[in-house]
Structure 1
């Protein structure tokens, strides 16, 4: 947690304008597929049919299944307990004590990640990314803030980047108390344990795109570390196509005592934070409030990470974050990157930010005893399935446009072809505008222009890339053009 206090059969075909220079394909006629379940309105079925086939989840390949099997709850537990043992990891705590404070925690995390990198054959490198934060809100004196960043370098598309974070700083009730015990097991040693375990299992496996795994600091004081990380990536021209913050992922039991062992929340905002007023107005005018890059990332998570191999279900929350608070994905949203946040099903506030104490036989404080390490490991598997699928698939299509130059009940989409050497082609996905997720897919081949016999006025479209192994990218929603 942190600061942000605050129907009938139709023919489906493709065509291309004679003036277009892009490649095009012709699609054979297809029977109407079953559309989204619905009710009858005024005697008309809600399912009016349409092109393509029903969409299905992307199954994990053998490499991903192997990676998921390697995630170890015992290692997760060891990480959470070790981080809690530093006493406090408050951003303003001591940085030169070898056993207590944020400096000791920083050095331990760096050592752990460096050990994994040493076994990677050069695939993964690790750095301590530090800067001097001037006086600011909740920073009373200039303070060195350090992120520990492990980078699994992409072997095919190194400039395409995906980011996973957890914050290693902690706090108690008084956010400015830098000396009191603040074990921070759930908030957020649990998220850091996810990051470290993913680094361990990914380090020795070749990845097509780059995956950044970062333990960031300064979150409780104002998202300072993640803001710096996002700014550095932006300055270096990184093409960040997805980011998730793991924040408070330690327990499936909330303050009501009910267990939700197989559920994790995923927060995803709608109209992007970084859009201009004009861009936001355009998105709303075409009904695209539910088609932000972050929502596409969340839909992709459902397609790749909600299955028997992770053992988890994902509850999508169409909101930037919880009320009154916010996590490190906001730093990425502020720069226009796709960003979401994973969190446990229902928080128990009696253990968050509470001073370590016993009152009337009741123990308070964010202690390891209140974490479920097998649950954290399953959250790690959700992250692994999502991000490994992203990194091995082609990148999300760019410059996707839908032709709005003429009145027609057909829909023409155009996009820029990706540069991946194993790119096989593209698919157009669509759904009723009221449906939460894509319901149909139309295979169009290795083209960059396609026309679908389906009115753009009635449905929402997206374009996704497919490689020769069948890995699919997230969909990109078109803008008018």
Structure 2
């Protein structure tokens, strides 16, 4: 984390801004000035990742997910944002895990590098996107630069996607690619608008906080599953919500002073009237979250650059806070490193509900891609609390290498339980909340 450089983050954002307008649909324009537009930006991002790979002896596999997006119908009730076949490129780099089994597990960090003007179809007027989302792209790049110098059992992917402003096109394609190719993705960290907007006179911005949004129950889940989760009160214990809790746990380990910087878990998919790339992954069942600064300034997003009645509009460099973006990068790096070092998540976690009693017996199977010894922790919280409050070593309550189970003198009716897998050094994966099991 100490290797994260606010100066390098700033340098990357400054280069991205120089591409003038990174509208996704500019890829179909033939009259752009040389060195501007989305395709020029994608070439530069690819080159940056290749430079990081050279520095680590070729440890990164740099790839381009390129496709032609067909014209689409109206987006969110507005006019279509893709009106002719449009080339879209997602750029990503793979840091393969060192363990033959654990390397199948994948954690992904992403930001979108396309931008927009007030008119989402405008491809020529300046749309610097210094915050939305050069800041998130810079987090992906800085994470790649720093973590490529280390080795982890599991695999980490560093991505920059396009098409977000036109309808999440790039992330949707990358998510479907991951699904079709059978990627065992256990967590996606999406960074979108993490620049820590610094507007003169704004006293309500809080540079010590970063919001973490995550999906609750998927609307596409089977009706019976939805009914069961609601009846059990575990609608806030989806994989995406557990990933958010894991981020909060990481922050307590790596940010010793919570007042300096901490994530805040938001129990909703996203903000009102807005959306982000984490939804593309969440829709396909992948655990995913979105990082966003505490207080957005909408005068500095999706705006034609101008001054009106003394108010400055535009997503400009001068409103980014490089120290804040560096803190966001450190949190991403700490989370990715922790999860990629962990054994993953336990399988088939269940709570025994055969008899009426005030004890709780939990059972689970080992993570499918763990090759080293695994320690298990039981975590729990009161039903009205959003984050884990207590934890205990499962071995003290009956867990053994032969049979993974634990019985605690705590009523399952009063709390929500979870089981998480950890390595010997304390790197834990996200917890998994049990479903009921009746045993003969």
Specify if TM > 0.5. yes
Uncovered stretches (5+) of structure 2, i.e. residues with no partner: 74-80, 396-400
Q: Does 1:439 align with 2:389?
A: yes
CA drift of 1:179 comes to: 2.1
1:192 aligned onto 2:140: no
2:6 matched residue in structure 1: 73
Q: Match for residue 256 of structure 2?
A: 308
Distance 2:220 2:326 in 1: 33
The structure-2 alpha-carbon separation of the partners of 1:212 and 1:71, relative to structure 1 and needing over 3 Å to count, comes to same
Which residue matches 2:404? 448
> What residue in structure 1 maps to residue 425 of structure 2?
469
Q: CA deviation at 1:243?
A: 0.9
Supply the distance in 2 between the matched residues of 1:116 and 1:402 (Cα, whole angstroms): 46
| CA-CA distance at 1:255 after TM superposition | 8.8
8 Å CA contact 2:209–2:294 kept in 1: the answer is yes
Compared with structure 1, are the counterparts of its residues 255 and 328 closer, same or farther at alpha carbon in structure 2 (3 Å cutoff)?
Answer: farther
For 2:411 and 2:372, the matched residues in 1 are separated by 32
Number of the residue aligned with 1:423: 373
How far the C-alpha of 1:232 sits from its partner, in A, is 0.8
Q: Residue 298 of structure 2: SS of its match in structure 1?
A: coil
Counting helix residues as a fraction of each chain, which structure ranks higher?
A: 2
- SS of 1:231's partner is helix
Quote the offset at 1:376 in angstroms: 0.7
Counterpart in 1 of 2:88?
Answer: 145
Runs of 4 or more above 6 Å deviation: none
What CA RMSD, in Å, does the superposition of the two structures yield over aligned residues?
1.8
Q: State whether residues 72 and 377 of structure 1, in contact with CA within 8 Å, keep that contact through their aligned partners in structure 2.
A: yes
Verify the 8 A CA contact 2:197 2:319 in the aligned structure 1: no
In the other structure, the counterpart of 1:127 is: 63
Deviation by residue 1:227-256 (Cα, 9 ceiling, x = unmatched): 111111111111111112100111254697
Decide which of 209, 215, 218 is 2:160's aligned counterpart: 215
Inter-partner Cα distance in structure 1 for 2:348 and 2:424: 22
Tell me: CA distance 1:186–1:472, structure 2 relative to 1, closer, same or farther (3 Å). Answer: same
Q: 1:105-164 deviations in whole A, cap 9, x for unaligned?
A: 000000001110122234311111111111114110011110001111111211111111
Offset at residue 351 of structure 1 (A): 1.1
Aligned residue in 2 for 1:403: 352
Secondary structure at the aligned position of 2:132 is classed as helix
Q: Distance in 2 between matches of 1:130 and 1:443?
A: 47
C-alpha deviation, 1:361, in angstroms: 5.2
Secondary structure of 2:94's aligned partner: strand
Residue 243 of structure 2 aligns to a residue whose secondary structure is helix
Q: Which is further off, 137-146 or 356-365?
A: 356-365
2: CA distance between counterparts of 1:441 and 1:319?
25
CA distance in 2, matches of 1:177, 1:189: 18
Q: Is this contact kept in 2: 1:413–1:449, CA < 8 A? A: yes
Q: Partner residue of 1:262?
A: 208
Does the Cα contact within 8 Å between 1:253 and 1:346 map onto a contact in 2? no
**1:346 equivalenced with 2:295 (yes/no):** yes
**Higher mean displacement: 178-187 or 306-315:** 306-315
CA contact (8 A) 1:255 1:346 kept: no
Contact 1:171 1:220 in 2 (8 A): yes
User: C-alpha distance in 2, partners of 1:440/1:181?
Assistant: 51
Task: Choose from 220, 233, 237 the match for 2:182.
Answer: 237
3-state SS, counterpart of residue 185 of structure 1: coil
Q: Does 1:292 align with 2:238?
A: yes
- Sort the Cα spacing of 1:347 and 1:134 in 2 relative to 1 into closer, same or farther, 3 A: same
- 2-structure distance, mates of 1:291, 1:285: 13
Aligned residue for 2:326? 377
Check the 8 A contact 1:252/1:263 in 2, yes or no: no
- Does the CA contact (< 8 Å) of 2:131 and 2:197 recur in 1? no
Secondary structure, aligned partner of 1:474: coil
CA contact (8 A) 1:412 1:452 kept: yes
1:154 to 88, 97, 116: 97
Q: Secondary structure of the residue that 1:471 maps to in structure 2?
A: coil
> Structure 1 residues 94 and 336 mapped into 2: Cα distance closer, same or farther (>3 Å)?
closer
Deviation at 1:434, TM superposition (A): 1.4
* Aligned counterparts, 1:63-102, within 5 A: 68-94=1-27, 98-102=34-38
RCO comparison, higher one (Cα < 8 Å, 6+) = 1
Which string of whole-angstrom CA distances, capped at 9 and with x for unpartnered residues, describes residues 153-183 of structure 1? 1112111111111000000111111222111
| Cα pair 2:199 2:319 within 8 Å, conserved | no
Query: Is there any run of 5+ residues in structure 1 with no aligned partner, and where?
Result: 1-67
Tell me the secondary structure at the aligned position of residue 276 of structure 2. Answer: coil
Aligned to 1:47: none
* Distance in 2 between residues matched to 1:255 and 1:396, nearest whole Å: 45
Equivalent residue for 2:266, pick from 280, 298, 317:
317
Normalising by structure 2, report the TM-score: 0.90
Deviation at 1:309, TM superposition (A): 8.0
Does structure 1 conserve the Cα–Cα contact (< 8 Å) formed by 2:27 and 2:87?
A: no
